[in-house]
Structures are given as structure tokens and as C-alpha cells.
Structure 1
Amino acid sequence: MEFKGIHHVSALTAAAANNFDFYTKILGMRLVKKTVNQDDVSVYHLFYGDERGNPGTELTFFEIPMAGRTREGNNSISATSLRVPSDRALDYWVERLDKFHVEREEIIERAGRKTLWFRDYEGQRIILVSDEDNEGVAAGVPWRKGPIPAEYAITGLGPVQLTVPRADRTVSVLTDLMGFRQKGQYPSSVAGQPDILVLETGEGGSGAEVHVEERHDLPQERLGRGGVHHVAFRVEDEQELKAWIEQIDAAGFSNSGFVDRYYFRSLYFREPNGILFEVATDGPGFDTDEHLDHLGESLALPPFLEPKREQIEAKLRPLDTTP
């Protein structure tokens, strides 16, 4: 068995309305689902993705209104990448990010690809990565009604970076348990630190990579707004998910067991450096309860929460996501 690639990345925000404005109006991602955190229905869970909300394109946010800012450090998902079609697209994004006064770095090469690093208004660390010569997992479909021309638009998730004090422990789980392959390495941007390791799964390419950074100079991360909660990896269906549950059980990892998130089915477990991994099915998908043309426009609740809609809506701050 092997994973198809990255399914989604879930992060934290303290302000859903500002988050919606940034990711849809500045970055041009489509809000494909406005729902609630199923483990705490008093707060929003927002899913951004491509035109259809395809697996492998979704960056999601739990709203935690009183969350302090993340203290960056080890044992963390330290950067999330978003794919764009070409090197030329990065030049477009330099101008756009500057227009909106977004903190950014210069375009540089990472792991053989041109990249552009920036932060959102809460300090979330994002890397735009060019698909200029990329092969492997296919990109998603640009949001046709979004503010970004299709030739420059974000089309999905790229490599996820993990920062840990012991890379060997994380790499062992990724390779021995999860079937990732070591692809290469590249120098750390921090003097005196080991090279960053590149691992891939499935068809490979930027949509199927994890980059493992070992750091000896950092405290443990304190997660808050601007931080990442977990990363999910793609499997085809429930049958494959259940096979992974058996394999992870057999390896002795404490885990959630089968979890029905309605839009997909999942399993959660922590690797030895404490980072939360999810295994998630490609379906059923976000058009299960909303028409494709109206994804994300109203509050969607899975059937098991629908009877509590009135109570749930009463506790949520209004969030207008209509076009």
C-alpha cells in the first residue's frame, strides 16, 4: 500500500472573517465548505481548495477566537506549500503580495523548484511552489470565478515541511510504516543545521512530498493562531483506509480508529516527534450536500449535526461567504 499524496492541511485562525477575506480575495482560493469543527461545534471549520475542492488541494482552518499566536519551534508542521503553474506565476505573485502588503521573501530555489515564501496576516507560513517542470500527482483546477487569472492561480497543495529535533524518528515512520521513499535532500537555510530531507509517495511530485527539517536550536512549538494542526494523506476509499488502520494498529501506534467526517473518512495518529497525521479517503467529497456552483456559501452540517443546527448557529459569529 502507498498513499496517493497529500490530502489536506489543517491550520488555526483566530478570525474566520479575516481568514476568508485573505484566502479567497487575495490568494484566490475557493471556499468549498463552511462548516463547524466536529469536535467543537462552537467554532467554524473552513475548507479552501480548487474549483471542486478536490483532495490534494484543500487548506483548512479551525477558528479558535481566543488563540494566542504560535510560538514557532520543533515538533511542528512548519510550512505549507501551495502549487502554482509556472515560474512566471511566481513573478505575478511577487507583485500581488506586495500590492496587499503581505510579508514575503524573494523567489529562491528549494529542492529543485522555484519557490516564494510568505506569511498571512496571522503569521501562517506559506510557500508558493512552481510546477514548471513538475511531474507526478496532478494539480487541481483553478477557481474559474476567482480573482486570479488561471495561468497564475493556486492549484493545490505542494510539499509539507515538518520540523523536528530527531529526523530519523519521523523518517522511520514515513518510510517503514507509511511507504514513503527518500528522494533527496537540500541545504537548510539556517547555518549549522542538517540538510532538509525530501520524501515522496505515490506518483511523486510536489503534491506527494514531505520535507523533514531537523533543528537543534529550537524550543518545542506552542501551537496557536498561525500554526498548523495536522496534515492528512490520501487513500482511495474506506477499504484502503481500514487496511491502513490495521497496519498502524499492528505497528503499535495509538490512534483514533475509523472516524466518519461525512465528506471523507479518516484515521488520526501521532508520529514519534508528536506531529499529528491523518489518513483520509478521497471521497465522498464536498458536493455531497451542496451543488458544485454553491459550495461554501452557507453553513453545511453533516447529518448527525443537522438536528442541532439552531443551537449551533446561535453560538457562531455571523460569517457572510456569499459571492
Structure 2
Amino acid sequence: MKRRRLVSAAAGWAVAAPAAQAAAGPPAVHAGGPIHLRLATAWPSNAAGAADMVLRFAQRVKALSGGQVQIEVLPADKSGVAPLALLDAVAKGEVDMAHATAYYWTQRSAGFNFFATVPMGMTANEHYAWLRFGGGLALWQQLAAQHGVVALPCGNTGVQMAGWFRRQLTGLESLKGLKLRFPGLGGEVLRKMGAVPVLLPAGEIKQALRDGRLDGAEWITPWPDLALGLHEVCDHYYYPGIHEPGHTLELLVHPPLWHKLGAAHQEILRTAGWLECIEMQAHFSHENAAHLAALQKLKNVQVLRLPNEVMREFRRLTPGVLREATASDALARQIHDSYTTYLRQQLRWAEMADRAYWQARYI
């Protein structure tokens, strides 16, 4: 793939290509023009919610910068970069930026999971608080730097659904041997329960369910799941998303580009990303309510609660899976300890705030 470079004459700079890429030629400079960035996403064009969010992010960055930073969004089905290859593509400068989820890089470090979502872990608001005020963001940036990228929070789905299954779950035994698209540490918990976790990007889920390579898959929530057509290949839709209670998404930036941007434009990217952690949740809440109602009218679909024994066993196994995953990596252990300590603190507050309110709501 040809290396695509950032251009800015307005700021009077251009990122120089390393010697190994010199054959591609120097970057073009257009005097007086804006900064042009190419952003590859992990989401196909039809990924409702995530695709909408990235376009909104790009529009907001353009507006906040007075048109000086312009982002071309390249969906997964058009960018030429496989979703699971985005980290390397950004680190090498093959694309300027990427929008993805940190748990796609779990083979590099289990620590990445804690910056996306952790089973039985923090809700979106709790995760936002940990990143903003609990030291989480500094740890994320430290880990990202080790792997050659700059990482910024950029969106959150809120709590998800547990996913689509080709046949009904009757209890723990019904999970044994099932091939399930469940990424991250949630997939590892299911492995302990006898299932076979599979990591596939969004664009491959429907066909894998159709041809039997998968027995079940989680994607996100009613809005994007219906857009992906998962109701056409599965009849059983489960809740709640105990594997993903609040999924933060990420913006990855090529480091030389980031350092050339300057403080003002860096702050615009940060601010737009943080705002999407709230804006995306609101958009999902709005659309999910309407799409759930539409989904419940489908004659072939049953919306079902996970069996209690499945949730109890999932909860019992989760702490051990988290410890095991981070045991051999010093930074991942530090991230795990920071995350779990902060979560315990938040749970004490939630007992008298969120949980107490929800209980009062149904008296």
C-alpha cells in the first residue's frame, strides 16, 4: 500500500517519509490549504452507529478548526486496510488515523482490553470517569506508545446486548462447543465456559452465521444489529451485555503526524473525541429504543434474557480470567490493578446512586 501523508501549508509543515519509503516521493504541499487527514475505520459503511459517529466526528473537527483540519473517512469496505490490521497501518504511517476498538489488539497486550470494555466491568460513565480523572488515560497512552501509536478516547456505545444465537440457550450445557464471535476478555470467559470464541470484524459476521462458521455472535445493540442484518440469520437475541457493559472506542494517530499538528489542533481532536463519548451514547439510546420496538415485532425473533446460571458462572469466572490474562505483562497488570481498584470505588457509590435509583424506579 502506498504511504499516504498528511499535508499542511497553513501550518507550514509536512511529515517526512522515512528512508524505506522514499520511493513514494515527497508529500505535496499546497500553500494556504487545510490539513488533510485520511482516517480508516474498523467499521463497514453499513455499520449504523459507529459509521455515523465517525462522520460526525470528522464534521465537528472541521467546524472547530475553522476548516483547517479536514478528515476523509474511509470505511472498512473502502479503505483497503483490514480492521484487525489498523494498529500496524497507523504505526507505519500507511494511514494517518484509524477509528477502532482497543480490544482488537489484545494479542499484543491484554492491557488493551481495559480501554475498550471488560466483562462485568465499568459502565460507560464509570469508564469515562476512570479515563478522565482516575489515571486511566495516562496508562492507555503509555501502552499505545509502546505499540507505535497515539490513542484517544472517541465514542462509547453504552451497555450492549449479549448477542445473536442460532438456537436457544437453555443453560450452561447449551454453550458447550458453540463457535461464538465474542472478542476480548468476554470471549476468554466464554472459553472457560466451554464455548469457542472467534474474532471476526463486523463485515464478516452475517455470512459466518449464515454458513455455519459461527453459532452465535455479539455485535452491539438493536440499531446497528438490525442494520447489519443479523436478524436475517438468527432467531434468538439475548440481553444483557455482561461482556460489554460500556464500550469505549478509540482514535489512533500516527505519532509523527500528531507531534506536527500543534497544540491547538491536538486539542480539537481530543475535545471532539471526548464529546463523542457522550454524544454517541445519546445517539445510541435514542435509536436503540425505536429499533428494539421494531425488532420485537419481527415474527422470527425472540428477545430473551440470558439464563441466570449462565450469568452467575460468567460473573464467577471473570476475575480469574482478568488476572490470568495480565499475569505475564507488567504494564497490563498495572492497568488491571488501576481499573479494578477504581471499579470497586465506583461500585460503592453506585449502590447509593444508580442502583438505588433503578430500584426506586420499579417500586
Question: Structure 1 length as normaliser, TM-score?
Answer: 0.27
- TM-score of the two chains, using structure 2 as the length reference: 0.25
Larger RCO of the pair (alpha carbons < 8 Å, separation 6+): 1
Q: Which has the larger radius of gyration?
A: 2
Higher-strand-fraction structure: 1
